[in-house]
């Protein structure tokens, strides 16, 4: 029998795949994995209803929206609503606070989450590991309003735990509630305490999925525990770290409103270092009651976040193709 008469694996399927086209490939994939798509269907419906359908409301950003007239009856004003934010003298400070605080949150939270994941996976005691993991994840489920109450109990000028402790050594009380220079470190520490434990779950799952034979081979070669972490665990965590970094950068223009407003509230002396876009817009919304202005800045935040995700993903694809989202 000649070589041409014997088809290699995939030779007969290739022309069929080419003829099938994009639409045919889609239905072929749908039929092949129909049960998996059926399981994902509730989540897809949820995203469609609560994430994609509301996008029609973006038109409010370009209107002088009146609730009584609705979207179809409100006057179209173009980019006038965007001028509100940039004509205010505080926009440079607010944008820089948002970017700087979010950059600190992303960097320190990610470092802490990776460190927690490595430390927990290195623990040998099964029950101790479970207890430690539960304790570190628990703060994530506390409301920022509850956390704010505990923070005030610590930093209050009169009767606060920190000032009471300092008074034992004859130190004057620290005016935390009127000193903006203290609050960036405080917010970063609170963000780490609240979210790093929960964020470490993804990294622990990645570490658990690493082939144990790699560590066994390293042990045979005389590698110490620190060397195994440095040369095996961290390099294999890199794709996960880059992926989560790309997703986090997409929200760098969105301030953590729940945390900052619950803790800082309407305290003007602390605005120089803590006021972000979201808290500024909330106060403007409460004072002016203009939904169009808030929608305009929200649209701007989403658009810039989308551009940043594309940019960071492009850089990641150039430097580490396996870490890029697409």
3-state SS, 125-189, equals CHHHHHHHHHHHHHHHHCCHHHHHHHHHHHHCCCCCHHHHHHHCCCCCCCCHHHCHHHHHHHHHH
pLDDT at residue number 65: 87
pTM of the model: 0.81
The counts of H helices and E strands in the chain are: 16, 2
Task: Tell me which of 153 and 25 has the higher pLDDT.
Answer: 153
116-168 per-position pLDDT tens digit: 999 999 887 788 888 888 899 999 999 999 999 999 999 998 889 999 999 99
CB atoms within 10 A of CB 130: 12
Q: Is a pLDDT exceeding 90 seen at residue 256?
A: no
**Dist. CA 309–CA 325, nearest whole Å:** 10
Residue among 241, 250, 207 nearest 320 (CA): 241
At 64 the three-state DSSP class reads strand
**Dist. CA 33–CA 27, nearest whole Å:** 10
Task: Tell me which of 9 and 91 has the higher pLDDT.
Answer: 91
User: CA torsion 239→242→248→249, rounded to 10°?
Assistant: -150
What is the band of 7 on the pLDDT scale with cuts at 50, 70, 90? very low
Residue range 42-64: mean pLDDT, rounded: 89
DSSP state of 139: G
What is the band of 15 on the pLDDT scale with cuts at 50, 70, 90? very low
**Dist. CA 67–CA 59, nearest whole Å:** 14
**Dist. CA 285–CA 67, nearest whole Å:** 14
At 75 the three-state DSSP class reads strand
Tokens 């890199």 correspond to what residue?
238
Task: Tell me which of 24 and 242 has the higher pLDDT.
Answer: 242
169-210 per-position pLDDT tens digit: 988 999 999 999 999 999 999 999 999 999 999 999 999 999
**Dist. CA 248–CA 102, nearest whole Å:** 9
pLDDT at residue number 28: 82
Residue range 41-64: mean pLDDT, rounded: 90
Q: Is a pLDDT exceeding 70 seen at residue 23?
A: no
Highest mean pLDDT among 1-15, 18-32, 245-259: 245-259
**Dist. CA 145–CA 259, nearest whole Å:** 8
At 88 the three-state DSSP class reads coil
**Dist. CA 133–CA 131, nearest whole Å:** 5
Residue among 248, 243, 231, 240 nearest 208 (CA): 240
**Dist. CA 247–CA 229, nearest whole Å:** 25
Helix (H) or strand (E) holding 113: helix 91-122
Cβ-proximal residues to 320 (8 Å cutoff; 6+ apart), any chain: 238, 239, 242
Cβ-proximal residues to 5 (8 Å cutoff; 6+ apart), any chain: none
pLDDT at residue number 220: 92
304-326 per-position pLDDT tens digit: 888 888 888 888 888 877 777 77
Domains and CATH numbers, the chain: 3-48 (no CATH), 72-323 (1.10.3720.10)
Q: Is a pLDDT exceeding 90 seen at residue 70?
A: no
pLDDT at residue number 20: 55
Task: Tell me which of 68 and 187 has the higher pLDDT.
Answer: 187
Tokens 């059926």 correspond to what residue?
38
Buried b (16+ CB within 10 A) or exposed e, 223-255: beeeebbeebbeeebebbbbbbbbebbbbbbbb
Residue among 131, 78, 139 nearest 113 (CA): 139
pLDDT at residue number 4: 45
What is the band of 22 on the pLDDT scale with cuts at 50, 70, 90? low
Residue among 93, 73, 147, 106 nearest 272 (CA): 93
pLDDT at residue number 21: 61
Residue range 242-270: mean pLDDT, rounded: 90
Residue range 5-18: mean pLDDT, rounded: 46
Task: Give Cα 264 to chain centroid, integer Å.
Answer: 21
Task: Give Cα 133 to chain centroid, integer Å.
Answer: 21
At 257 the three-state DSSP class reads helix
């Amino acid at each position: 029998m000649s070589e041409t008469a014997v088809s290699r694996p995939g030779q007969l399927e290739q022309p069929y795949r080419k003829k099938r086209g994009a639409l045919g490939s889609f239905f072929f994939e749908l039929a092949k994995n129909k049960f998996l798509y059926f399981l994902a269907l509730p989540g897809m419906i949820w995203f469609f209803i609560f994430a994609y359908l509301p996008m029609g409301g973006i038109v409010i950003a370009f209107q002088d929206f009146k609730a009584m007239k609705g979207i179809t009856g409100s006057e179209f004003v173009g980019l006038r609503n965007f001028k509100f934010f940039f004509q205010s003298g505080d926009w440079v400070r607010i944008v820089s606070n948002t970017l700087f605080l979010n950059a600190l949150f992303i960097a320190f939270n990610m470092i802490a989450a990776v460190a927690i994941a490595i430390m927990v996976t290195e623990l040998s005691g099964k029950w101790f590991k479970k207890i430690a993991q539960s304790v570190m994840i628990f703060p994530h489920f506390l409301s920022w309003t509850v956390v704010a109450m505990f923070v005030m109990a610590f930093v209050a000028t009169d009767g606060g735990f920190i000032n009471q402790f300092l008074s034992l050594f004859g130190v004057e009380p620290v005016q935390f509630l009127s000193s903006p220079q203290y609050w960036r470190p405080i917010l970063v520490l609170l963000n780490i305490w609240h979210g790093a434990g929960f964020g470490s779950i993804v990294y622990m799952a990645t570490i658990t999925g690493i082939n144990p034979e790699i560590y066994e081979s390293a042990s045979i070669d005389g590698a110490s525990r620190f060397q195994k972490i440095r040369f095996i665990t961290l390099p294999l965590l890199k794709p996960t770290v880059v992926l989560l970094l790309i997703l986090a950068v997409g929200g760098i223009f969105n301030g953590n409103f729940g945390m900052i407003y619950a803790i800082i509230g309407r305290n003007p002396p602390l605005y120089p270092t803590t006021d972000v876009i979201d808290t500024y817009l909330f106060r403007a919304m409460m004072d002016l009651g203009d939904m169009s202005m808030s929608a305009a800045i929200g649209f701007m935040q989403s658009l810039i976040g989308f551009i940043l995700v594309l940019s960071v993903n492009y850089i990641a694809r150039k430097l580490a193709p396996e870490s890029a989202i697409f």
